[in-house]
Structure 1
Amino acid sequence: MEDGFDFQNGQNFDFKEFVFRALSYWKWFLLGLCIVFYVVYYQNIRREFPYTLGASITVQDDKNPLFTATTSLVFNYGGISGKVQEVLLNLTSRKHHEKVVDSLKLYITYLKQGRFYKTDIYKQAPFEFEGKIESYQIIGHAIKITFLNENSFQISYDFGELEEVVLQNFQSKDVKTVNLSEGILSETYNFGDYIDLPFLKGRIIKREQSKIVSQSEYFIRFNNFDSTVSSFMQSYIVRNESNSPLLTVRLTNKNKPKIVDYINTSIFILDRDQLQRKNQYAINTIEFIDKQLSRVKGELTKKADSLNDFMRTNKIFDIESESALLTAKIEEYKDEKELFNEQLLALDLLKNYLNTNNDYSDLQVPSTTGISEGNIGVNVSKIVLLSAEKSKLAYSVRNNVSVFDDLNRQIGALKLVVLENIASEKFNIQSQLKALNSKIYNSEREFSTIPESQQRLRAIEREYLLSQSTYDLYLAKRGEADLIKASNVSDIVLIEPAKDTGQGRNAVNLNIRYVFAFFTVLIPVFLVAFIVTFFDNKLHAPGDLEKLSSIPLLGVIGQNDTPNNLAVFNKSQSAMAEAFRAIRSSLQFMYKKHDLEGSKTVLVTSSISGEGKTFTAINIASVFALSGKRTVLVGLDLRKPKIFDDFELKNEIGVVNHLIGQKSLSEIVQHTKVENLDIITSGPIPPNPSELLISETMDNLIAELKTKYDYIILDTPPVGLVADALELLEYADASLYVVRQDYTQKDMLTLINEKHKNGVVKNISFIYNFYNLKGKYGYGYGYGYGDYANGYHDVVEKKGFFNNLISKFKK
């Protein structure tokens, strides 16, 4: 992939630099990887995997075999689909799970300390805690129980710095917060003793056939009731395939016996509630009949006493046959009237049911027994069938509204027909009742021929017999209701209960965590490398200059490891000295190419301060001087003079003094410890440096220096800060523009690129300073002298293990 810079159009993302930068973070990557892998390993060995067990039930539409055509109490449901949906909703309801948690007291957790965490041991604990019903218990904190022997134990807890704790009453489910006066406690009790602590009230009872180990430690913890219910609801799954009566119940938990108990108790409570609901109609009927029997029985007793008292008072012990026949006739009329009244009652009940209900599949429909009109029974049956069909469609069809509208129209039409039939039948019965009342009235008038005492006796006797008949009727109805209730079975059938058959824990491949951990470290490393590379605007390799500018690269200078800037003088056989000799050779080749004879002038500048401009000027001057050439180094950076310190010279007089006419050339020239090298420092800082550098005196100075020296090195100000160096370019036979690795910003080269492109600056070259063979990222870019040069240098840097490995990899 080619990455680079178009110095006409702008900068592109340097993918190569991004890769090397990312590789340079390998130490941080390894450190992060070690930390994350340790965290993952620590979590893996502490991970407690749960179990998952299940049970299967089916929902049936069991009809009571004792229901016959003469049974007055019947049940009509909406079919299997409606029942399955109802059961599914019940199993997943919070109310149902609250019953299960309450039944098993799962808000109490029995724990035992394991290697890494406290383990839920459920019923494996050798004891059981029986809390006081009306008391509040602390929630969310483990209470330690240490068995001292088979009869006694110690209760202790340490709540540390807590100022308040939360308590809950598990009967009312109320929660309250109380202040904590004492956070540490330790008390000794015997089994069966009542524990009356501020946050724990109850008894600890030893389980049967359990063995107590001395000094064994256990913990009990009360959990918030609502939170406990929510946790079981989240891991409790009920599945049902469409149009199937089979339901599969599954629960995931860390304790298998708890799973078995929870699922089986859940199904038991569901079965109990469903049967209770199925028997509710019969139960309500029995309660109503019991009330009526009590009332009728009282009336019957009073009328029997009245009859006996009348007969004893009037000494009547026999009834004439005519009176008996008349009485029988009236009683027959009364029975017929009672039958009509029952029919009217049945019609009113049916009418009320039709007017007060919209769904006839989920509720019990009153029987049509006793209604002689056949059309009513037929139409009611059709309504029930249509309601059952609507219930099935509601379970299987979700969005087809037209189907439900059609069924509702059919049910509505049949309902109107039934209501009209009821009104017509009631009118007929009421007409017959009027005729029957007339017959009764006429028959009772015949009693006027019977003696008054006998008439009163017959009246009392008729009331008694009527009450007796009503009492017998209610007794029969109650017997039917008891029979229905006793013979009902639940529609929930347990196919396969939850059972521990040795199932293992839910297997999870934890090794995948290491893969995620690897990328968790790798991605941030690459992200940081990308962001830094994207926003990085500095030079990091000599090759960057080829992408940024058309100005040639004259030489590469390494890092200076000497105490001052006199690198060539201090270590003339070092790689640094060889680098400056290479620059000297390149300059001589440039002069020869341009046919320059006599004294030559070299101008050294840079973009900003700190790029090594003065360091480069000093050592280029030194390398020329050491070759036997008369060389002078002129400090023209009048604003920030530097070169005098390295040569242990003073800056009291210099170029400024000569340019303003105070000193002659011979007075400002200073000799150095380097043979053939003279220095002209800048001198005191003037108020107008730019005007001095472009003055005629400056022209005369350069001309005079050319008569005395072979090479003139000009150390000028940075062109990125002031324009002085640009004014001095006319004196230079060759210009050196110093850039520094990991310091010079790329956009700083814009000015010199424009000047070179427009022809203002000629014979200019780059000097790449402070080059690190490893580069910023720990890898070289292919520049340097290699092993060949090392044989001629005083110091050969030894490579470490990782550097050797990287070098072999690069080769």
Structure 2
Amino acid sequence: MAINENTELEDLIRNATGGGTAPEMPLAAGNDAEEESASLDTATLVLVARRSLLWMILLITLGLTASWLYLRYTKPVYKSQSLLKIDERNEGSALGLAGQMAPVAENRTNKLAGEVELIKSNIIYRKLKDSLALDVNYYVQGTVLESELFGTSPFRVKYAITDRSLYNSKFDLKFISPNRFSLEYTGQGQPMRGEYDFGQVIAWPGITLQVFGTTELNNKTPEENYHFVILNDSQVNAYLDKNLAVEIVNFDANTIQISFNDFNPNKAQDIVNQIDSLYLAEKLSRKNEATRNQLEFLDQILDENGKNLERAEDRLQSYVQQTGTYDTKGELEAISTKMEALETARIALTDKMSLLNQVAQMASQEQLTRDETQTVEQSLPSIAGVQDPQLVQELNALNGLQWELRRISRSYTDKTETVQSRKANIAFTRATIKRLLQQNQKLLQSELGRLNQQRDRLTSDLQSLPSKSTELARLQRPLGLYDKNFLQLMDRKVQFNIEQAGATADFLILSPASPPAAPISPNRLIVYAVGLAGGLLLGLGLIAARYFMHNTITNVRELERNTKASVLGIIPTYDKEKMEVSRLIVDKNPKSAISESIRSIRTNLDFISSAKKKRMISVTSTISGEGKTFVTVNLGGIIALSGQRVIILDLDMRKPKVNLAFGAQNVKGISTILIDRHSIQECIQPTSIETMQFISAGPTPPNPSELILSDKFDLMIQELFQSYDVILIDTPPVGLVTDGILIMRKADIPLYIVRADYSRKAFIKNMNRLMRANNLTRMCTILNDASTRGSGYGYGYGYGYGYGYGAYGQGYYEEPTTKPLTFGEKLKKFFN
């Protein structure tokens, strides 16, 4: 089992140094850009390719095997083809009528396309099936594949089928003697079998058969197994459609190529030659009939079009007579003009009505003041706009009376007879004006009503114009269409008669079909090339997929190549037992491979910090699950076994695990020390090794980072150094929180744990950034959970690294088993 802390791999993989770390130094920007730039890891690619070599060989072998099987069980396809020239010579130009004819170049493509469709029509198919008997296929069974006996069958069949389900059924035939055979088939759910003589009528349910011998009977082996299949018309047509190809080779030369593909080369040749003959015969025999039919069709279309033209003319004429409308655009202009004139008259009448209303209002007013100082002229300055002479006269009279009343009012009082008579005259005149105003208002209202009626009538006519226009356009559209078609058909008929009178047909087979020498499919070289290429592509795809999916550190070579930190060593996979949590194991197995590897790491640490007797070592990783707690506990155990006093501090206050490694409680610890709730001595807990103690993380505080940054933490470290030689600190993962970075800055030797086949390569870049950003020049790294196979170094690398003399292999090995490897294990070992 691999060493782990029973935590899942967090999805959060930070490409930065972690939250809260110091920003990168400007001088490191260039190096960082180099690290981030995408590059091909040649060593990893070679490693993946080597591990995939066996798969690539198997895939290539599989591809070549598939090609061989395809060629072995695929019938070869043969192609036979002929070249036909269709020459349409037109002699109309000799009559001086060439200018009236359609250009030949424009119709050439359509003509050739029509010839292609004729060749592939049911007319040719039906005659081809009758002439070559394509409705019955004869076969002989070979070792693997069956072969069709086209024209070389030792027997032929006549049939009459009433049950259509028997089409495409297989009838097995085997010769018993030169004149006798056995026939077997499965029809209507029951197998039918019998022995018959040639020419004998075989009456089975749904079918009647007769089998006759041919001249090929003596040349065939009687022991061979034969069978035949009867096809209906649709099946024969589908077979011809699938394998027949008719293409226009050269438009200018009017050449058409006819080709046919089949498993039997002789059949392909005979079908092509027969199609040539049938097409030419059909073309010549139907030429006159086609000409006559086309002329009759033109006459029929002309007659129908003429009748439609007459009906369209009658409908348009009736509509014009009914509505009196032929030019809707002109009517629209006339109505618009009338509407404008009516609107002008209405505005004038409205103005008159407004003026009369003002006059009526003035005339109906009583005396406003004692002197009635407002005269008509002053109250109604626009009196000149009143067109009624009598009304104007009365208004002027009223105006004169008012001025006279104003004049005499200066000399007389209101009670004098003179003033009273003037007021009586003014009252009489006002009454007269009111009567005249009422008459004029009635006349104006009557005139305005008449104008409104005219406007409404014109508006109605205007609203009906779109429907009239639409109906008129609807009636004119078929009239124009029929008229145009009639002229075109007449012109086409004249041209057709001229062309047919001067055209002669000339058919020539330029290249008759010949028996194909080699099959066109399958191409053996291409098939094997495809199989080889397919195997190679699948193998390369597998390598590429495994390479791009290889995003973890797998061995110490990759770790050395990607990191700038010193590699202290490797810790092999611990598979003795399954551990739910990290535990101290070096005290129980002091001679095990893991103990020796950690002992080698302890020795390398001594070389790094040989001048210091007191050391503070921090152990961190990028994320949980990389084994930092396991390394901390067991590295502390190895150092303690060497005689030094060791104290382990669990500063992963968010997820403490050191107490779990020793099976202790986490009631008090670092957090309670830093808040002065407990003393250091109260929190120190013993372990199974006398010279090693630990302090657990304590209850999780809300502010671990602030506690670490406090002076109390430094005082705690100073106090611990008075009693201990080595302080090992288990810090939180630096990829998730900032606490670990704060501790790494204080530590004499910061250790960074990388777990093989678990830690991603991006984590190493994170570690390099940490070194640059925080100036961690003494940063070291350890490869944890490394596999002993395929690493290239083995345990000896971890043990000898840093000694200066140690060759690879210097160190302790467990005795390997002497059980011989199987062949599969040897192959696996070789490719790994």
The alignment's TM-score, normalised by the length of structure 2, stands at 0.56
Q: Who is 1:188 aligned against?
A: 194
Amino acid at match of 2:628: K
Amino acid at match of 2:137: T
Unaligned runs of 5+ residues in structure 1 are 63-77, 159-181, 285-351, 366-383, 389-489
Q: Who is 1:680 aligned against?
A: 694
1:156 equivalent among 179, 185, 208: 185
| Partner Cα distance (1:50, 1:497) in 2 | 20
CA contact (8 A) 2:797 2:809 kept: no
Q: Who is 1:743 aligned against?
A: 758
| Partner Cα distance (1:13, 1:225) in 2 | 65
Would the alpha carbon gap of residues 632 and 58 (structure 1) be closer, same or farther in structure 2, given more than 3 Å must change?
closer
Q: Who is 1:411 aligned against?
A: none
- The question of 1:358 aligning with 2:522 is answered no
User: Residue 84 of structure 1: CA displacement?
Assistant: 11
Q: Who is 1:460 aligned against?
A: none
Q: Who is 1:324 aligned against?
A: none
Q: Matched residue of 1:625: which SS? A: helix
Q: Who is 2:527 aligned against?
A: 513
Amino acid at match of 1:219: H
**Equivalent residues in 2 for 1:370-769, closer than 5 Å:** 384=502, 503=517, 505-506=519-520, 509-527=523-541, 529-530=543-544, 533-534=547-548, 537-540=551-554, 542=556, 551-563=565-577, 576-577=594-595, 579-592=597-610, 596=612, 598-643=613-658, 649-651=663-665, 655=669, 659=673, 665=681, 668-672=684-688, 674=689, 677-680=691-694, 682=696, 686=700, 690=704, 701-729=716-744, 732-748=747-763, 756-759=771-774, 763-769=778-784
Q: Who is 2:278 aligned against?
A: 269
CA contact (8 A) 2:637 2:692 kept: no
Would the alpha carbon gap of residues 710 and 279 (structure 1) be closer, same or farther in structure 2, given more than 3 Å must change?
closer
- The question of 1:257 aligning with 2:266 is answered yes
- The question of 1:40 aligning with 2:67 is answered yes
User: Residue 196 of structure 1: CA displacement?
Assistant: 6.0
Amino acid at match of 2:265: K
| Partner Cα distance (1:92, 1:517) in 2 | 37
2:149 equivalent among 108, 115, 121: 121
Unaligned runs of 5+ residues in structure 2 are 1-28, 90-103, 294-488
Q: Matched residue of 1:7: which SS? A: helix
Q: Who is 1:7 aligned against?
A: 32
User: Residue 656 of structure 1: CA displacement?
Assistant: 5.8
Higher relative contact order by CA 8 Å / sep ≥ 6: 1 or 2?
A: 2
User: Residue 610 of structure 1: CA displacement?
Assistant: 1.0
| Partner Cα distance (1:746, 1:61) in 2 | 77
**Aligned-residue CA RMSD (Å):** 5.1
User: Residue 736 of structure 1: CA displacement?
Assistant: 0.9
Q: What is the number of residues matched between the two proteins?
A: 567
Would the alpha carbon gap of residues 498 and 657 (structure 1) be closer, same or farther in structure 2, given more than 3 Å must change?
closer
CA contact (8 A) 1:6 1:548 kept: no
Q: 1:473-520: per-residue Cα shift (whole Å, max 9, x none)? A: xxxxxxxxxxxxxxxxx96567876566x9454585424323322332
**Equivalent residues in 2 for 1:771-782, closer than 5 Å:** 771-772=786-787
CA contact (8 A) 1:702 1:731 kept: no
Q: 1:611-632: per-residue Cα shift (whole Å, max 9, x none)? A: 1102221332233234332333
Identity %: 22
User: Residue 265 of structure 1: CA displacement?
Assistant: 2.4
Would the alpha carbon gap of residues 527 and 133 (structure 1) be closer, same or farther in structure 2, given more than 3 Å must change?
closer
| Partner Cα distance (1:20, 1:5) in 2 | 29
1:136 equivalent among 150, 155, 164: 164
| Partner Cα distance (2:30, 2:75) in 1 | 56
Would the alpha carbon gap of residues 11 and 558 (structure 1) be closer, same or farther in structure 2, given more than 3 Å must change?
farther
- The question of 1:208 aligning with 2:233 is answered no
Amino acid at match of 2:625: G
User: Residue 278 of structure 1: CA displacement?
Assistant: 6.5
Would the alpha carbon gap of residues 603 and 141 (structure 1) be closer, same or farther in structure 2, given more than 3 Å must change?
farther
Q: Who is 1:164 aligned against?
A: none
Amino acid at match of 1:617: T
| Partner Cα distance (1:186, 1:268) in 2 | 41
Q: 1:615-659: per-residue Cα shift (whole Å, max 9, x none)? A: 221332233234332333344444544446666x54477736973
Would the alpha carbon gap of residues 559 and 749 (structure 1) be closer, same or farther in structure 2, given more than 3 Å must change?
same
Q: Matched residue of 1:512: which SS? A: helix
Q: 1:114-158: per-residue Cα shift (whole Å, max 9, x none)? A: 333333223443333323277635445534445666545343238
Amino acid at match of 1:268: S
User: Residue 748 of structure 1: CA displacement?
Assistant: 4.5
The alignment's TM-score, normalised by the length of structure 1, stands at 0.57
User: Residue 45 of structure 1: CA displacement?
Assistant: 0.9
1:793 equivalent among 812, 820, 826: 812
Amino acid at match of 2:143: R
Amino acid at match of 1:712: I
| Partner Cα distance (1:650, 1:729) in 2 | 26
Would the alpha carbon gap of residues 128 and 722 (structure 1) be closer, same or farther in structure 2, given more than 3 Å must change?
same
